[in-house]
Structure formats: structure tokens, C-alpha cells
Structure 1
Amino acid sequence: MSQPSVIDYPSYSSARTHFKDVLDATERGRSVTVAREGQVSVVMPADKLRSFFFRAVSPRVELASEDGRVIALLSGRPFVSEGSTVDGALEDLVLSLREYAEDWEARLQGAPNHRDNWALVQLVKLSSDDELLEWFERGGE
């Protein structure tokens, strides 16, 4: 007999009571939902979510050289960094993204020109610096 692919908990209390089962199910690749006051949330492994964002969010990195400095920017997004080398500029871009993710969570997420950056912020928060550097090179749609 096959198990359902989604396990639904109608309240956070029932999910809390079965928390080990929630984590065991997600480890086996099953979707788990938890309802609370009309809001339904999904519990899933962070690495799977990060992998999805790695593919779904395009970095669109552009590099340029100006006055002996390397400029790195994310085309269509307000991120520009520089360094004396390509690696330095990209490492500075990672730092800019980390600072932005903190600002976004603290105050920017409701601003009309920032609210659509949720997926980018989640990718940044779920990734190591090396993973973000890899995303610059190979990530996106």
C-alpha cells in the first residue's frame, strides 16, 4: 500500500506532537504541510529548497573593467561590487548580497521595489559563500 505524497497537519499542535514524524517524512522526500489560522506552511529540507532556488533564480552576473578595477553586477538588480581581481569583485558581491538579505528581512521586504526579492534572499540565506560563488557561475534558469 503506497503512502500519500503529502502529509497534512491541520494545526501546529498536531505537527508539534508529531514533530519527529514531520522530520522523518521530509527526510524521505515527502511534502508536509502545517495549517495555522488559515495559513498553510510547508516543511522541507533546506538543501532541497536551496537547490530549487539555485536553478530558479538567475544571477545574471556581468563583469567589466574600469580604471584597473573589476566591476561585478547583477543585471536588473541593485547590486554592484568591485575588486582588484574578478575573484575579489565576486567575493565583494557575496558580501553585498549578505548585507542586503539582512536589510531585506529587517525592513525592505514590504517595500514595493524589494518585495519580489524573496527567493533571492532565501537563496542567499541558505547558501554558503562558496555556493553563492558557484551560483554566479552556473546558477539560474
Structure 2
Amino acid sequence: MDTTYRSVRDARDHLEDILDAAGEGRPTGIVRDDRRVAAVDADRLLHYLMSVHPSGAAVVAEADGWSIFIPGTPIAADGSTLDEAIDEMIDALRDYADEWSDSLRIAPNHADNWALVQIVSIASDDQLRSWLRS
């Protein structure tokens, strides 16, 4: 069964079918002009992205606490305990994702952080904590 809808109107008329297909893991999408958009189950997407895009977070113990950063990004945080540093890092990641969506996505040195932003946008705080620790 073809679940690619060739217009927004057609997709709107079949929104339940699109959501069902995405939830079942079946390919589904919408074509608007020359642009294709995929509808996917968020949990499946998150699981996949986290498996192919490890955080790579570097954790450094310092005399007065902990620092955590993700190499190649401007995202870093500090805390007096490791848990506090990770909580601060989650806040920093969420702030970065907001800034990326607002303007950084078109900056050449940030454009490739799409997967990171998707992970941060979809994941719960607990999921991000686990991802940062792995």
C-alpha cells in the first residue's frame, strides 16, 4: 500500500492513516512541490539516532567539580557533582536545540548538527542522561 501523499490536502484527509503507518514503522510521507517529508514514529527515530550518533560527551573531573562537553560543538556545562553537570548539560543541549531551530541551522558550522538537535528535541531528560553517560 502506497502511503506517500502527493498533496497537503490529500495528507490532511488521510492523517490517521499517516499516523498509523508511522506508528507501525511503515514508510509514509507527504510530497509538497518538490519537497518530500517523512512521517516516522518518534521513539523509533530516537532509538536509531542514538545508536548511530553517540553523544561523545567528554567528562572531566576538576578540583571543584565536573565539566562535560561535546567535542565539535559549543555545548558545555559544569557542576559540583557529576549529576549536576549532566543536568546542566541537558539544559545547555535544550538551549542549543532552540537556537539551532531559530537560526543556527543555516550557519555552515552548525548545519550538520541536525541529528543532535533531533535527539535533544525528541528525548526525555532521562533518555538524554543515559545517552550522555554511554
Q: Same fold (TM over 0.5)?
A: yes
Q: Which amino acid counterpart does residue 31 of structure 1 have in structure 2?
A: P
Structure 1 outlier segments of 4+, above 3 Å: none
CA distance in 2, matches of 1:78, 1:48: 27
Tell me whether 1:80 sits opposite 2:86 in the alignment. Answer: no
CA distance in 2, matches of 1:14, 1:71: 50
User: Match for residue 70 of structure 1?
Assistant: 66
CA distance in 2, matches of 1:81, 1:23: 37
Give the match's secondary structure for 1:78.
Answer: coil
User: Match for residue 108 of structure 1?
Assistant: 104
> How many Å apart are 1:73 and its aligned residue?
1.2
Q: Which amino acid counterpart does residue 24 of structure 2 have in structure 1?
A: R
TM-score (norm 2): 0.93
- TM alignment of 1:25-104, pairs within 5 A: 25-104=21-100
Structure 2: segments with no counterpart, 5+ residues:
none
CA distance in 2, matches of 1:80, 1:28: 37
CA distance in 1, matches of 2:132, 2:66: 15
Structure 1: segments with no counterpart, 5+ residues:
none
Larger radius of gyration: 1
Q: Which amino acid counterpart does residue 116 of structure 1 have in structure 2?
A: D
> How many Å apart are 1:75 and its aligned residue?
2.2
> How many Å apart are 1:66 and its aligned residue?
2.2
Give the match's secondary structure for 1:47.
Answer: helix
TM-score (norm 1): 0.88
User: Match for residue 10 of structure 1?
Assistant: 6
CA distance in 2, matches of 1:10, 1:37: 9
Aligned residues: 134
Identity of aligned residues (%): 34
Q: Residues 33-75 of structure 1: CA distance to partner in whole angstroms, max 9, x if unpaired? A: 2100110111111111111111121211111122322111112
Q: Which amino acid counterpart does residue 129 of structure 1 have in structure 2?
A: D
CA distance in 2, matches of 1:122, 1:111: 17
Judging by fraction of residues, say which structure has more strand: 1
CA distance in 2, matches of 1:107, 1:43: 24
**Whose RCO is larger (CA < 8 A, sep 6+)?**
1
